[in-house]
Amino acid sequence: MTAPSLSPSLQSPLIARLIPYAALFAGMMILAGGTSFAKSLFPVIGAQGATAYRVGISALLLVLVFRPWRFALTRADLKAVVLYGAVLGAMNLSFYMALRTIPLGVAIAIEFIGPLSLALIHSRRPIHFVCVGFAVLGLGLLLPLKGGAGSLDPVGVALAAFAGLCWALYIIFGKRLTHLHPGQSVALGMSVAAMVVVPFGLAHAGAALFNPAIVVAGLAVAIFSSALPYSLEMVALRGIPKRTFGVVLSAEPAIGALAGLIVLHEHLTGQQWIAIAAIVIASVGAIATTRETPVAGDPV
């Protein structure tokens, strides 16, 4: 006797519920892998060149897809787009510059402090102070307060922290554009970001940016560290509540650390793993216990 199989009517609701979560985890893993691959290009074109590829090619693809000129903009909207795009460009550049000297997972964990602080800034519940405690613990374990084998480069830490500040501003300025068509705001914002970032890439890498083999690698960076993971996140957002989305997204520092270990052979100390875990716990706790938590696509 053969075992009875589930009918399509019983299978499809389960699959429908699982697809958004699968898309979100796939997006996070692809993003971490794409960023790891981008870091492998640093010896050839530098962090500035890799950022120029990521932002510049992404902007070109977004403009071709969404054709933002089809929608009218007021002067106030234009100013908001410029602010949004400027912090987006600064966030990408400073994060990639941080990756020159500190591991990927550590850089993501430090950067996460930006949106985490924004989520907690108006918090009053006791559990939120526990979240602050975990975040402070994580930062205290990561910051280069003393020398030793596990100490981090202060410049890299400062750049990752600045990227976190830009991430918080990115969320704030992005909220001012919610009345616009999402494709228009993202395409225009990424175009402004490209204007900020690409000159740094050209100044640093020069003609190497136009090497056909490197251009192909740059296209892969743009697709796997921006276009594809962001598209998967949009699929996830349609089927996952925003709070749950944010909780799951809080695993990014750990996923980044694993990607750095596998792709770049970045071995972290036990203290650094504990620090990343503390920041992940702080982020999960803050999002899970806050009514209105800003959720934004991963900018790294």
The answer to whether residue 214 is domain-embedded is: yes
Cα–Cα–Cα angle for 195, 61, 219, rounded to 5 degrees: 90
Q: Give the model's pLDDT for residue 28.
A: 87
Among 66, 67, 45, CA closest to 54: 45
pLDDT at 139: 81
Return the pLDDT at 261: 87
Does residue 130 fall inside a structural domain? yes
Note whether residue 14 is domain-resident.
no
Does residue 299 fall inside a structural domain?
Answer: no
Domain membership flag for residue 300 = no
CA distance 11 to 2: 18
58 lies in a domain?
A: yes
Residue 293 lies in a domain: no
Quote the pLDDT of residue 144. 62
Range of the domain at 175: 20-288
> Looking at residue 146, what is its pLDDT?
56
Structure-block tokens of residue 158: 């400062």
pLDDT for the residue numbered 122: 66
Q: Which of 95, 246, 101 is nearest to 164 (CA)?
A: 95
Number of domains in the chain: 1
First to last CA, the chain: 53
Q: What angle do CA 281, 245, 278 make, to 5 degrees?
A: 10
List Cα–Cα distances, 287 to 118, 173, 236, 250, 290, in angstroms.
11, 20, 17, 9, 5
Per-residue pLDDT tens digits of the chain, which is 300 residues long: 454 554 454 456 767 777 888 888 888 899 889 999 999 999 999 999 999 999 999 899 889 988 888 888 888 889 999 999 999 999 999 999 999 999 998 998 899 888 888 777 766 777 877 888 888 888 887 776 555 445 788 899 999 999 999 988 988 888 888 888 778 888 899 999 999 999 999 999 998 999 998 999 999 999 888 878 877 876 776 777 766 777 777 888 888 888 888 888 888 888 888 888 888 888 888 777 766 544 444 555
Q: Is 90 within a domain? A: yes
In whole angstroms, give the CA distance from residue 63 to residue 191. Answer: 8
Write the CA distances from 38 to 34, 99, 119, 124, integer angstroms. 6, 10, 29, 40
Burial class (CB in 10 A: 0-12, 13-18, 19+), 216: exposed
Residue among 218, 282, 228, 225 nearest 250 (CA): 282
Spatial contact of 35 and 222, defined as CB atoms under 8 Å apart: no
SS3 string, the chain, reads CCCCCCCHHHHHHHHHHHHHHHHHHHHHHHHHHHHHHHHHCHHHHHHHHHHHHHHHHHHHHHHHHHCHHHCCCCHHHHHHHHHHHHHHHHHHHHHHHHCCCCCHHHHHHHHHHHHHHHHHCCCCCHHHHHHHHHHHHHHHHHCCCCCCCCCCCHHHHHHHHHHHHHHHHHHHHHHCCCCCCHHHHHHHHHHHHHHHHHHHHHHHHHHHHHCHHHHHHHHHHHHHHHHHHHHHHHHHHHHCCHHHHHHHHCCHHHHHHHHHHHHHCCCCCHHHHHHHHHHHHHHHHHHHCCCCCCCCCCCC
DSSP-derived 3-state class of residue 145: coil
Q: Are 224 and 113 in contact (CB under 8 A)?
A: no
